[in-house]
Chains A and B, each alone.
Chain A
Amino acid sequence: MTAPRCEVTLLVPCLVDTFLPQVAAATVRVLRHFGCRVRCPRGQTCCGQPAYNSGFSAQAAWVARRTLERLGGAGWVVSPSASCALMIREHYPRLFASRARLARRAARLAARVVTLGEFLRRQFGADPADLLRVRDPLAVHVPCHGGQIDGSDTLAARLAARGLPVCQPAAQEACCGFGGLFAAEMPQISAAITATRLAELAASGAQRVVCNEAGCTLCLAGAAHRRGLALRFCHVAELLAESLDGAGARA
């Protein structure tokens, strides 16, 4: 048995943990396929985004402290959610700016957090676009937060260049309407935005939609299901795991 090529820590986003555990499971399968040993600290809860974006920074900081402590250590922290990664990178240092010890820990964690796409590229020079084997017509929903760091923004073009069946709606980076607590505070406006995005995705001819943010997925898939649309939403990790399993890789 070969020694693991590296050790990584898995960040478990709260929405993934609760509603979409298959996303985290697929992420682990992909990481193990590349020879990583995956460490999953117990008792992870939330990065604090919902409170932070809402302006409740005291509550956000209180929650973020726990995440700081849970994810402490060394080595890469791989997050299936780009928005959680961004929260840690961009806002943790600011949340703890006035407390030197915590600020240092935040800075260290911020430097270690990566999305799955970033990790595969940096560590193994691997592009998910090269590895996906998909027959269903695909569209990619580019999340507003993190679409640039997890590769969602260029994924459709990269897949199409490799001959995969991509049906990309005309409005490339339209919002799904989730916006965290926005969907609960302004539900009718949020629903109107979701309806437009969903109509675009449905009209594209795609059967599956790659969506790497759990919030966006719940928002779009929930509306699609309510309308009886046949669209299936999945994280790129799930597609990767399927494709790599299909190629006979170890689980």
Chain B
Amino acid sequence: MREAHRGSGPASGGPPHDALRALLADLHRALRARPEPAGTPADLRAVARQVGPEADLAARFAAQAAEAGATVHRCTAGRLDAQVAALLAAAGARRVIVAGAAGQWLDPSRAATLAAALRTAGLEVRHAGELRFGEADAAVTGVDAAVAETGSLVLSTAGGLPRGLTLLPAVHVAVVGCAQIVPDLCDLMDRLAQRELPSCVVLATGPSKTADIEGVLVTGVHGPGRVAVVLVEADGAD
């Protein structure tokens, strides 16, 4: 595929091209015409923070996620396999994808163990790489983080997982280690700002929904209609 429209966009970071330069010049002129002092707002976090680290993060996260329409299930690591199997059975899911990533609580080795347990339970378990459009009933994944303030799951392409993994199947089971929960959106953004962003980061809060028709709430529009979060607490045996 040839490079699209040379000269109207930098191929990689470089000096601004003509159109951008002209726009910037006009903007400078506009601002000089009406100078209004507007300093940098200080200490955003002090004002914006809603949840501090001293809060019961698991409880807060669970409450918010439930409010957004997800179901939240707490269990110990030892009970994880049974919990996930039960959730998938309740959702009527037969063909599932199990995917973990480095840096998540559900890392590749735990994911492999879980996948094996689910196969034993009679489910058809595939890898993320085998995902075809709409072929899986459910996806069981880890998360990069969770946010207590909003009840959100942080999902990204960081682990090499497809964007469609947590989007296309109708059911999403997210396995979250309690230690992965950050208190506030401010904390999450601070963490994301510390290193290079993956190409896609999604904060997912509850199942896909709309109220466009007469204000009636309907779930499962384009994304998963059913989101189940399994919150794994540390237990002595783990």
A and B touch in their complex, CB below 8 angstroms: no
A-side residues, CB < 8 A to B, are none
